[in-house]
Amino acid sequence: MHAAPFSDPTGPERTGGNRTGTVRRRRLRSAAAAAVLAAGVLAPASSAHATPSLQEVMLVGNNWEGTADVIRSTGDFAKVGRIDLIPDRKERLTEIYTDPVRLAFFLGIRLTVGEGHDQFVDDMYTTPDGSAIVVSRPSFGDVASVDTATGKLKWRFRVAGHRSDHMAVSPDGTRVAVSASTGNTVHVLDIRTGEQIGSFATGDKPHENVFTRDGKIWNMSIGEVNNDFDAPWQDFLKGDRRITVADARTFEVVRTVDMRERLDAFPGGKGFSDSVRPVAFTPDESKLYFQVSFFNGFFEYDVAADRITRMKALPKNPATSDDRDTFVNDSRHHGMSMKPDGTKLCVAGTMDDYATVVDRATLQESPPVPASKPYWATVSGDGEACVISESGADRVTAISFASGRKIASVPVGDHPQRVRLAHLPAGWTGPTG
C-alpha cells in the first residue's frame, strides 16, 4: 500500500478433443434436424422460448478471493450481485496437492505474481445469452465456465503449462482467447462449450490479447517478470518479448513485432523495456497505445507505418520509490482504455497510486485522481467514463472522460483486477442454485 500522492478533489473438463469428428457430428445433427423440419414434424421455436432479455453490467474479478462482483455499467455503478467463480475449489485443490509438479507451480504463483496470495480470477466474459461467465483462473491453470443461474461449473479447459492469464472475446462474442503464460501459447475456445477451436505460439509469458475487426488476434508477451534482473542493462535476461499477430480464422501467425527495434529507432527510446503491457487501439485501429514495464507513461505506435510516433511520460508520485525491484510484476503503470470516439485515454498509474485522463491529440493529462494501486482501466457502458480497479483498496472507481474527475466508487472483493462489460439476464442478482 502506498500513500496517496495527491489530495482528493471530490461441468466437464475439456482438453481440445477431436475437432474434426465433433464438426462432422454437428453437421450430421444439423442435417437431420433440417430434414425433420422440412417434413413438417418439427415446428419453429415459439416466442415463449425466445432468448430472455439481458441487462448490461460490469464484472469485477476479485483475484485473491475467487469471486466476481457485478455492478451497473453506468450511472452510480451500484452493486447488482456476486458470484463464486471457483465453485470447484475443493476438487481442484485435491488434484493440485496430490501432484508434486502442479503443487510446485501453484505455490510458485502464490509466492511470485500472487504477492503471497493464490490467483483465482484473472479475466472474465459472459456468453452471448448471459447464461454463463467464462473465467481464467491462474492458480488452477485453467479456463472455466460457471452457470449464472445455478453457480455450478459447466465446463473446464486446462491450458498449456500451469497458469492462465488475460483473455479476449471475439467481436461476435462466440470465441474466447486465453494466454497460457507458462505454456507460451494462446488457446482460442468456443465460449459456450469450452472446445478448443485453435491455438498459436507466442513469445515468453503471453499476456494481453485483443481481437481486431480485420480478423486478427494480437498477443503481447511480457517475458519474465519474476526475476530481479530489472536494470536496463539486464534487459536481455527478460526473455523473448514480442507482439504476435495471428489470423483469427486459421490461427496462423501473420506478423510479429519486436518493440525493441522500434524503441531503439525512436529518439530517446533505447533505455525502455520492450515488454508490452496493456494496450488500446484507436477506433479505426490505425494507432496502438501501449504501456511497457517500469515506465510511468505510454507510447503511440503507427500500425501501418510500423513505427513508434510519440511517447508520453506521466507524473511520478514522490512517495513511490524508483527502485524497479519494488514494482509489482515489473509494472509501474498497468491499465489503459480509450473513449469510444478516440479522443481520450484513461491510464492507471499502478505504483504511483493515481489514474488520469489524457487528451489523445495533445497528450495533456488531467489532474490525477488518487487511487490505491489501480490495476486496470476499462470503459463504462455509455462510453462516458473510465472505470478503474483499485486493487489496494478493494473498490472500483469511475472517472469522467469529460472532466477527468471521480464520479463514483463502489466497494468490491479482495484485490480486484480485471473489469469487463458483460450481459446477464434482466433481474439477475446472483445464482439461485
Tell me the C-alpha to C-alpha distance, in Å, between residue 204 and each of 144, 239, 284, 347, 359: 24, 6, 29, 25, 33
Residue environment code for 16-36, b if the CB has 16+ CB neighbours within 10 A, otherwise e: beeeeeeeeeeeeeeeeeeee
List of E strands, 174-296: 175-180, 185-190, 196-201, 206-212, 216-221, 243-247, 253-257, 276-281, 287-292
Which of 19-33, 94-108, 385-399, 416-430 shows the lowest per-residue confidence on average (mean pLDDT)?
Answer: 19-33
Distance CA 305, CA 283 (A): 17
Is residue 29's pLDDT more than 90? no
pLDDT digits over 284-338, tens only?
A: 999 999 999 999 999 999 999 999 999 999 999 999 999 888 888 888 999 999 9
Average predicted confidence (pLDDT) for the chain:
89
Residue with C-alpha cell 485483443?
210
Tell me the C-alpha to C-alpha distance, in Å, between residue 13 and each of 112, 160, 323, 363: 27, 14, 43, 47
Q: Are 290 and 279 in contact (CB under 8 A)?
A: yes
Residues of the chain above pLDDT 70, percent: 88
Is residue 1's pLDDT more than 90? no
For residue 247, tell me if it sits in a domain: yes
Higher-pLDDT residue of 40 and 171 is 171
Which of 13-27, 252-266, 377-391, 406-420 shows the lowest per-residue confidence on average (mean pLDDT)?
Answer: 13-27
Structural domains counted in the chain: 1
For residue 2, tell me if it sits in a domain: no
Residue 259, pLDDT score: 95
Is residue 38's pLDDT more than 50? no
pLDDT digits over 373-384, tens only?
A: 999 999 999 999
pLDDT digits over 242-280, tens only?
A: 999 999 999 999 999 999 999 999 999 998 999 999 999
Q: What string of DSSP letters covers 337-403?
A: EE-TTSSEEEEEETTTTEEEEEETTT-PBPPPEE-SSEEEEEE-TTSSEEEEEETTTTEEEEEETTT
Is residue 91's pLDDT more than 60? yes
For residue 32, tell me if it sits in a domain: no
For residue 197, tell me if it sits in a domain: yes
| Local confidence band at 348 (pLDDT 50, 70, 90 cut-offs) | very high
Residue 324, pLDDT score: 82
Residue type, 107: L
| Local confidence band at 224 (pLDDT 50, 70, 90 cut-offs) | confident
Distance CA 358, CA 366 (A): 6
Average pLDDT of 392-409?
Answer: 98
Distance CA 426, CA 130 (A): 9
For residue 196, tell me if it sits in a domain: yes
Residue 231, pLDDT score: 76
Distance CA 20, CA 13 (A): 19
41 Cβ contact list (under 8 Å, min separation 6):
none
Sheet harboring 336-338: ordered strands across? 336-338, 344-349, 354-359, 369-370
Nearest residue to 312 (alpha-carbon basis) of 327, 292, 330, 331: 292
Query: In this structure, what C-alpha cell is assigned to residue 3?
Result: 500513500
Q: What string of DSSP letters covers 273-303?
A: ---EEEEEE-TTSSEEEEEETT-SEEEEEET
For residue 289, tell me if it sits in a domain: yes
Residue 39, pLDDT score: 32
- Residue 127: give its domain's CATH number: 2.130.10.10
> Could you count the other beta carbons within 10 Å of the beta carbon of residue 247?
16
For residue 143, tell me if it sits in a domain: yes
Residue environment code for 298-317, b if the CB has 16+ CB neighbours within 10 A, otherwise e: bbbbebeeeebeebbebbeb
Q: Are 350 and 334 in contact (CB under 8 A)?
A: yes
**Full domain range(s) for residue 325:** 13-17+53-425
Sheet harboring 406-411: ordered strands across? 374-379, 385-390, 395-400, 406-411
| Local confidence band at 50 (pLDDT 50, 70, 90 cut-offs) | low
Residue 234, pLDDT score: 76
pLDDT digits over 273-291, tens only?
A: 999 999 999 999 999 999 9
For residue 306, tell me if it sits in a domain: yes
253-257 and 406-411 as β-strands: parallel, antiparallel, unpaired?
unpaired
pTM beyond 0.95: the answer is no
Higher-pLDDT residue of 184 and 234 is 184
Average pLDDT of 64-71?
Answer: 98
CA dihedral 226, 230, 234, 240 (to 10 degrees): 40
Angle at Cα 195 formed by Cα 193 and Cα 197, nearest 5°?
125
